[in-house]
Amino acid sequence: MTDISIFAEPIFSIKNFIVSNALINAWIVVLGFIVLAIVVRLGFSKKSSKLQNFMEWFLEGALSFGDSITGDREKTLKFAPFVLPIFCFILLSNWLGIMPGVGSIGFLAEHSGKTTFIPYLRSAMSDLNMTLALAIVAVLSTHIAGVLLTSPWKHLNRFVGLNLFLEIPKKIKQRDFSILIVNPIKFFVGIIEIAGEFAKTASLSLRLFGNVFAGEVLLGAMASMFAFFLPVPFLLLEVLVGFIQAFIFSVLILVFLNIMSESHEEHEEAHA
Amino acid sequence: MFHLDWKLMIAQVINLGIVVFVLWFIVFKPLAKKISQRSQEIEKGLENAKQSQALLDKSQKEYLDVIMTAREKAKVIFDEAEKSALKEKEKILLIAKEESEKISKITKENLLDEKEKIMKSAKKDLADLVVLALEKTLGKAAKDGIDKDLIENSIRDIANTKDNG
Domain count, chain B: 1
Going by C-alpha positions, the residue among A261, A263, A264 that lies closest to residue A253 is A261
Segment A117-130 shows an average pLDDT of 88
What contacts B162, CB < 8 A, 6 or more positions away? none
Give the residue on B whose Cα is nearest the Cα of A128.
B2
Indicate whether B75 belongs to any domain: yes
* Within-domain flag for A245: yes
Per-residue pLDDT tens digits for A19-42 = 888 899 999 999 999 998 888 888
Residues spanned by the domain of B67: 49-164
Q: DSSP letter for B140, please.
A: S
Residue B21 CA to its chain's centroid (Å): 83
**A210: buried, middle or exposed (CB in 10 Å: 19+, 13-18, 0-12)?**
middle
- Whether B128 maps to a domain, the answer reads yes
With CA atoms as reference, the chain B residue closest to A56 would be B31
Q: Highest-confidence range of A112-126, A157-171, A242-256, by mean pLDDT? A: A242-256
Asked if the structure places residue B43 within a domain, the reply is no
Average pLDDT, chain A: 86
Q: Interface of chain A against chain B, CB under 8 Å? A: 6-8, 16-18, 20, 23, 26-27, 29-30, 33-34, 36-38, 40-41, 44, 52, 55-56, 59-60, 63, 77, 80-82, 84-86, 88-89, 124, 127-130, 132-134, 136-137
In a domain, A123, yes or no: yes
A53 domain-assigned: yes
Count helices and strands (H / E) in chain B: 3, 0
Distance from CA of B19 to the nearest CA of A (A): 6
User: Residue A51 domain-assigned?
Assistant: yes
Say if residues A80 and A62 touch (Cβ distance below 8 Å).
Answer: yes
* Bridge partners, residue A49, by sequence: none
Exposure string over B39-59, b if 16+ CB within 10 A, otherwise e: eeeeeeeeeeeeeeeeeeeee
**pLDDT > 70: what percent of chain A?**
94
In-domain check, residue B110:
yes
Cα distance from A62 to chain B (closest Cα, Å)? Answer: 11
State residue B18's pLDDT score.
92
pLDDT confidence of residue A269? 61
Q: Domain for residue A64, yes or no?
A: yes
A128–B4 C-beta distance less than 8 A? yes
How far is CA A244 from each of CA A216, A252, A255, B38, B85, rounded to the nearest angstrom?
15, 12, 16, 31, 93
List CB contacts (< 8 A) between B19 and chain A: 29-30, 33, 85-86, 88-89
pLDDT digits over B14-63, tens only?
999 999 999 888 888 888 888 888 889 999 999 999 999 999 999 999 99
Determine the pLDDT at residue B31: 85
Q: What angle do CA A72, A78, A81 make, to 5 degrees?
A: 125
Q: What is the pLDDT of residue A251?
A: 95
Write phi, then psi, for A230 (nearest 5 degrees): -60, -40
What is the arithmetic mean of pLDDT over A183-198? 88
For residue B127, give every residue at least 6 positions away whose Cβ sits within 8 Å of its Cβ, in sequence order, or none: B151, B152, B155
Contacts of A127 in chain B (CB under 8 A): 8, 12
Percent of chain B with pLDDT over 70: 89
The more confidently predicted of residues B148 and A101 is A101
Helix (H, G, I), strand (E, B) or coil at B48: helix
Q: What is the pLDDT of residue A268?
A: 61
Does B9 sit within 8 Å of A136, measured CB to CB? yes
Using CA atoms, how far residue A151 sits from A43, A136, A137, A142, A146, in Å, is 42, 21, 20, 13, 7
B19 within domain boundaries: no
C-beta atoms of B4 and A84 within 8 A: no
pLDDT at B162: 60
pLDDT at A2 over 90: no
Alpha-carbon gap, residue A131 to A200, rounded angstroms: 12
Q: Report the pLDDT averaged over residues A238-259.
A: 94
- Give the span between the Cα atoms of B12 and A103, in whole angstroms: 19
> Into how many domains does chain A fold?
1
What is the b/e burial string over A252-267, where b = at least 16 CB atoms within 10 angstroms of the residue's CB? bbbebbbbbbbbbeeb
The complex scores an ipTM of 0.83
Report chain A residues whose CB lies below 8 A from the CB of B32: 59, 63, 77, 80
DSSP secondary structure code for residue B143 in this structure: P
Q: Which domain holds residue A149?
A: 10-271
Q: Which residue of A has its CA nearest to B3?
A: A7
Over residues A223-249, mean pLDDT: 89
**Backbone φ, ψ for residue A176 (5° rounding):** -100, 90
Q: How many CB pairs under 8 A join A and B?
A: 119
> Rounded CA gap, B135 and B142, in Å?
7
Task: Name the nearest CA neighbour of A80 among B18, A88, A3.
Answer: A88
